[in-house]
């Protein structure tokens, strides 16, 4: 078995670097190897070795060292180099030996840590923890944002080699579209549940989607080694949850594994030895069915995810639903409505092995692969043989619930801190995002200068804004608003199920605040010094509440919510935010002297020396209504001497807000200015006289 893949570094060296495995297999032929390594261009040799190595599979019969040498340095190998090597259907992993499973759970219940241990104990060298969270924002925030696929091989007790394709999914409700999208690609799910917290809002959401597709979940009770774990109680809650979601008798008979993903062990009962993840691997092999596909059929694959490669272009990920696919085969892309968008030839096929993408020359139905060769396909498109006329069905996605307007930055500092400034650049980036993220919708305004972006929540749109910001975009975004819909002449609004875990001393404040936001309490459960409260609240009632919730609970509480459905409009909400401290005067830098005079009037958002301009919000007023102040005012300098010393100005630290906090904070007449190095809240209309005129017109 040969696992060598020549890298660009190897191909660019003056001599071909041969793998250690190769030299150990052909010890008597080392002189010949050294001679061969010094002959011919290194690039052509690397290409030849790469094509020959691509044919090897972990379940194929390995070649001896002398056989490999004859293949590398014979006349037949030269002919093979000019032709495309291929695998036969018999050489592929049998469909019966493939398992496709998704790891689903609520946020912070241990999905990614569990996948780490599965990879480690299958022989993969990771080098760090949470390796599946490879995105920069994922590493910074400690959450999973994008669904990712990995693959491991597992040898059962009867020496059968199994290939397990594992999909790690996000746990946050705002990224629920990622979970809905990949469920069509798997044949089973592993539901991870924290043995202390029990089923949460996102647990209910992802389980409901899996049950609706007829998947049979297996349950992993994680963190059972914690002293606060409630194994028996959580088991009963899960049984009630399955029943309330309408699970079939077959789905109700779910197996349970008790695990500690952090420590790297799983058992079928609490009394068994705690050694490794083998019980979980065995349960996946026994419980998850193999793909029900036909490799003798024509090629069909539903695109589930799109990646970009600077050398290969768009790469389309999905599970092959029928037939086989070889490099050079003709294929077409069908839109969800059955129209052909493009046709071409397959240029590359990749399969996952651990953290790597391994190129192969042929793949068969049942496996999860990445394919290149067309450019205009999108998520939910069908890649298929030219004879296919009907697209594969795709899973429906829940509609977006909030919207924000993206527009060009027109502040006095526009163009100073970014490089992507125009509306065309913003439009192109948003349309590109909408192609890969099915939970987002982008609607252009009539003048083509602004774009309404709809998504699942403030966090999802905040991640998009932060990504664009790091790419060098400058833009202004409006405060989020709820997406209403009309049905039979009635106005409907989205409703969220809110689960709050707080200390007993905070329950009164939480109930009072959410009642003012039109929330209805559904359950109230005390457990020691903690209380779990479940509400049904309009989405607009939750906008801007997260920061207020942290203040009310002193950071000692958790709030989770997920989309529940639509219900009739519940009426207006009370305004809870105070007025703003709005800068007036000229463009300049804030001075300590001016901020010292402004500080008694409210909370400041800026420090001395920061850039300000007229219409920029520099703080929150202590009263209702906006207050105009001059933060650039400097102390008068005269030539009159005085015996009195200047006072040493000491300002309180300004209020620092994250991007998501600012999105939640801004008022209806304000926008958030986004640049690569700054975040500024400003009035939509910078001119103070026009703002007053608009206010009078609204009153009239």
pLDDT in tens, 124-177: 655 455 555 556 666 666 666 677 788 888 888 888 888 888 888 876 767 767
Quick: pLDDT tens for 361-387.
888 888 888 998 888 888 888 898 988
CB atoms within 10 A of CB 131: 19
Packing angle, helices 111-121 and 278-287, rounded to 10 = 100
Beta strands in 28-140 (DSSP E): 98-105
| Backbone φ, ψ for residue 543 (5° rounding) | -65, 120
pLDDT at position 69 is 33
Choose among 662, 661, 658, 401: nearest CA to 537: 401
> Looking at the predicted structure, is the pLDDT value of residue 86 above 60?
no
| Cross-strand pairs, 603 | 620
482 vs 40: CA distance, rounded Å: 66
Closest Cα partner for 346 from 379, 319, 367, 370? Answer: 370
Percentage of the chain lying above the pLDDT 70 cut = 81
Helix (H, G, I), strand (E, B) or coil at 319: strand
**Cα–Cα distance for residue pair 487/473, rounded to 1 Å:** 38
Taking the CB of residue 464, how many other CB atoms lie within 10 A of it?
20
pLDDT of residue 74: 38
- Region 637-659: mean pLDDT is 73
pLDDT above 50 (res 40): no
Q: Above 60 in pLDDT, residue 324?
A: yes
Mean pLDDT computed over 558-586: 83
Per-residue confidence at 79, pLDDT binned at 50, 70, 90? very low
Of the candidates 429, 411, 412, the one whose C-alpha atom is nearest the C-alpha of residue 420 is 429
Q: Higher-confidence residue: 428 or 436?
A: 428
- Higher pLDDT pick, 23 / 450: 450
Exposure string over 147-158, b if 16+ CB within 10 A, otherwise e:
bbbbbbbbeeee
Radius of gyration of the chain (CA): 30
- Residue 262 pLDDT level (bands cut at 50, 70, 90): confident
DSSP string across 234-283: HHHHHHHHHHHTT--HHHHS--EEEEETTTTEEESSTTS----SHHHHHH
Q: How confident is the model at residue 67 (pLDDT cuts 50, 70, 90)?
A: very low
pLDDT at 73: 35
Kindly report, residue by residue over 7-26, the tens digit of the pLDDT.
333 333 333 344 443 333 34
Looking at residue 643, its pLDDT comes to 57
Which of 246-250, 496-500, 535-539, 584-588 bottoms out in mean pLDDT, i.e. has the lowest? 584-588
Q: Is the per-residue pLDDT at 645 higher than 60? A: no
pLDDT of residue 55: 39
Mean pLDDT across 97-119: 85
What is the average per-residue pLDDT within 238-259?
89
pLDDT tier at 457, thresholds 50, 70, 90: confident
Residue 80 has pLDDT above 70, yes or no: no
CA-to-CA separations, 62 to 21, 45, 58, 333, in angstroms, rounded: 12, 21, 8, 37
Between 298 and 78, residue with greater pLDDT: 298
d(CA 344, CA 375): 9
DSSP lists the bridge partners of residue 537 as 496
The pLDDT > 90 percentage for the chain reads 4
Name the token pair of 317.
């990920």
From CA 416, how far away is CA 419, in angstroms rounded?
8
- Predicted local distance difference test score (pLDDT) of residue 70: 37
Closest CA to 376 of 420, 433, 314: 314
Token duo for residue 616: 């920029």
Q: What confidence tier does 113 reach under pLDDT thresholds 50, 70, 90?
A: confident
The H-or-E segment that residue 68 falls in is helix 65-72
Collect all residues with Cβ–Cβ distance below 8 Å to 114 and sequence separation of at least 6. Answer: 103, 192, 220, 222, 259, 261
CA atoms within 13 A on the CB side of 676: 11
Which residues sit opposite 560 in a β-bridge? 499
Choice among 131-145, 254-268, 317-331 with the minimum mean pLDDT:
131-145
Question: pLDDT confidence of 91, banded at 50, 70, 90?
Answer: low
Q: What is the pLDDT of residue 23?
A: 37
Of 5-9, 442-446, 461-465, 660-664, the least confident: 5-9
**DSSP helix/strand/coil, 531:** strand
DSSP state of 205: H
Question: Each residue of 204-221: pLDDT tens digit?
Answer: 888 888 888 888 999 999
Round to whole Å and give the CA distance between 26 and 43.
23
Residues 21-43, mean pLDDT to the nearest whole number: 39
Burial 386-397 (b: 16+ CB within 10 A, else e): eebeebbebbee
If you average pLDDT over residues 439-461, what whole number do you get? 84
Kindly state the tokens that stand for 182: 């990949």
Q: Give 434's contacts (C-beta < 8 A, 6+ positions apart).
A: 440, 441, 442
Q: What are phi and psi of 598, to 5 degrees?
A: -85, -30
pLDDT at 311: 80
Q: State pTM to two decimals.
A: 0.73
Mean pLDDT across the chain, nearest whole number? Answer: 78
Asked if residue 57 has pLDDT above 50, the reply is no
* Strand 98-105 versus strand 188-194 pairing type: parallel
Q: What is the structure's pLDDT at 124?
A: 60
The residue-averaged pLDDT of 585-602 equals 87
DSSP letter (8 states) at residue 529: T
């Amino acid at each position: 078995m040969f696992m060598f893949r020549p890298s660009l570094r190897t191909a660019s060296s003056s001599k071909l670097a041969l793998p250690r495995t190769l030299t150990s297999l052909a010890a008597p032929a080392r002189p010949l190897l050294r001679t061969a390594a010094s002959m011919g261009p290194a690039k052509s040799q690397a290409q030849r070795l790469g094509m020959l190595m691509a044919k090897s599979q972990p379940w194929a019969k390995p070649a001896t060292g002398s056989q490999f040498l004859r293949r590398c340095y014979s006349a037949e190998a030269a002919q093979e180099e000019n032709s495309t090597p291929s695998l036969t259907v018999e050489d592929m992993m049998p469909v019966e030996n493939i398992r496709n499973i998704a790891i689903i759970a609520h946020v912070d219940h241990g999905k990614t840590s569990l996948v780490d241990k599965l990879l480690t104990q299958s022989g993969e060298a990771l080098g760090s923890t949470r390796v599946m969270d490879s995105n920069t924002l994922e590493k910074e925030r400690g959450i999973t944002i994008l669904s990712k696929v990995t693959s491991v091989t597992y040898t059962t007790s009867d020496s059968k080699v199994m290939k397990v394709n594992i999909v790690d999914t996000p746990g946050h409700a705002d990224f629920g579209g990622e979970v809905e999208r990949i469920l069509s690609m798997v044949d089973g799910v592993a539901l991870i549940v924290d043995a202390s917290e029990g089923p949460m809002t996102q647990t209910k959401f992802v389980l409901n989607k899996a049950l609706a597709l007829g998947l049979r979940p297996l349950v992993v009770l994680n963190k059972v080694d914690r002293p606060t774990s409630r194994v028996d109680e959580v088991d009963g809650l899960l049984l009630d949850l399955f029943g309330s979601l309408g699970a079939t008798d077959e789905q109700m008979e779910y197996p349970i594994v008790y695990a500690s993903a952090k420590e790297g062990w799983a058992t079928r009962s609490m009394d068994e030895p705690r050694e490794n993840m083998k019980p979980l691997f065995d349960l996946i092999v026994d419980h998850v069915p193999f793909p029900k596909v036909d490799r003798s059929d024509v090629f069909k694959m539903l695109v589930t995810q799109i990646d970009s490669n600077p050398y290969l272009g768009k790469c389309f990920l999905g599970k092959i639903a029928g037939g086989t696919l070889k490099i050079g085969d003709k294929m077409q892309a069908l839109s969800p409505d059955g129209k052909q968008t493009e046709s071409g030839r397959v240029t590359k096929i990749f399969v996952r092995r651990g953290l790597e993408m391994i190129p192969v020359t042929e793949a068969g139905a049942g496996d999860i692969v990445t394919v290149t060769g067309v450019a205009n396909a999108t998520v939910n498109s069908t890649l298929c043989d030219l004879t296919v006329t009907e697209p594969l069905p795709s899973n429906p996605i829940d509609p977006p619930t909030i919207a924000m307007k993206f527009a060009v930055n027109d502040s006095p500092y526009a163009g100073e801190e970014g490089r992507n400034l125009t509306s065309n650049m913003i439009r192109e980036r948003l349309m590109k995002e909408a192609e890969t993220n099915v939970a987002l919708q982008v609607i252009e305004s009539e003048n083509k200068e602004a774009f309404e972006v709809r998504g699942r929540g403030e966090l999802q749109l905040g991640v998009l804004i932060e990504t664009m910001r790091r790419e060098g975009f400058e833009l202004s975004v409006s405060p989020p608003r709820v997406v209403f819909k009309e049905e039979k002449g009635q106005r409907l609004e989205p409703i969220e199920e809110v689960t709050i875990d707080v200390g007993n001393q905070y329950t009164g404040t939480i109930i009072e605040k959410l009642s003012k936001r039109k929330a209805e309490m559904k359950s109230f459960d005390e457990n020691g010094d903690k209380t779990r409260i479940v509400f049904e609240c309009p989405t607009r009632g939750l906008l801007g509440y997260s920061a207020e919730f942290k203040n009310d609970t002193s950071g000692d509480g958790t709030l989770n919510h997920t989309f529940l459905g639509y219900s009739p409009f519940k009426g207006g909400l009370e305004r809870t935010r105070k007025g703003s401290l709005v800068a007036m005067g000229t463009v300049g830098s804030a001075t300590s002297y001016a901020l010292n005079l402004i500080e008694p009037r409210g909370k400041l958002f800026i420090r001395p020396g920061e850039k300000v301009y007229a219409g920029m919000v520099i703080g929150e007023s202590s009263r209702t209504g906006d207050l105009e102040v001059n933060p650039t005012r400097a102390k008068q300098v005269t030539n009159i001497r005085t015996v009195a010393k200047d006072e040493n100005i000491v300002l309180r630290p300004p209020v620092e807000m994250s991007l998501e906090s600012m999105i939640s904070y801004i008022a209806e007449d304000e926008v958030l200015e986004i640049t690569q190095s700054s975040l500024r809240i400003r009035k939509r209309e910078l001119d103070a006289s026009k703002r007053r005129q608009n206010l009078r017109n609204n009153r009239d």
